[in-house]
Amino acid sequence: MTISYDYTRRTGIEEITWERFEQLTRRLTEQLAPAGIEVVIGIARGGLFPATVVACSLRCEFFPVRLTRRVKDQPTFARPIWQVDVSAQVADKVVAVVDEIADTGETLVLAAQRIKQNGAARVVTASLVSHSWAKPMPDVTGLVSDALLIFPWDKHVYINGTWQVHPELAKAIQMQR
């Protein structure tokens, strides 16, 4: 299994602007619409951005989950752990589970399994962006790219009274140069 946050595998840098984000979420929405999605589950944190847009665009119910390797924004766990579980309201529904990126693919797989365990009629996995090595690849993806991806909500952080490039991102960018 691929280790998440292994930035040495990235080739190049691709910045996703808010305008590009809108294009990609429209693509996700258009691909998900024929499935008859009734509920969208967004994986917090970054997955909430595309999941919210998709849920609003499809005019369906939305619920967040938190399944992460991070604590206080620091990669901490080798495998994702549950912090906020799936709503019982997925029972008997067609559900799309959405994340911002499928790197290893593991987070989407674990979320889809839990949604099925909670009685969903069908689960469709989706990500705004996927790396080619994601196993399995999401059912729906807006973009496949093996670049270091810079999302608009992750680019800058506020530390000690100043805005700066996210330290983890700054290191990853250095590795690409």
Q: What pLDDT score does 3 carry?
A: 47
User: Tens digit of pLDDT for each residue in 126-150?
Assistant: 999 999 999 999 999 999 999 999 9
Write down the pTM of the prediction. 0.92
74 C-beta neighbours (distance < 10 Å), count: 8
CB half-sphere exposure, 126, CA atoms < 13 A = 34
Domains of the chain as residue ranges with CATH: 13-152 (3.40.50.2020)
HEC profile of 103-146: CCCHHHHHHHHHHHHCCCCEEEEEEEEECCCCCCCCCEEEEECC
User: Tens digit of pLDDT for each residue in 88-120?
Assistant: 999 999 999 999 999 989 999 999 999 999 999
User: Tens digit of pLDDT for each residue in 2-17?
Assistant: 345 677 788 899 999 9
Distance between CA atoms of 129 and 98, rounded to whole angstroms?
Answer: 10
Q: What angle do CA 13, 15, 16 make, to 5 degrees?
A: 140
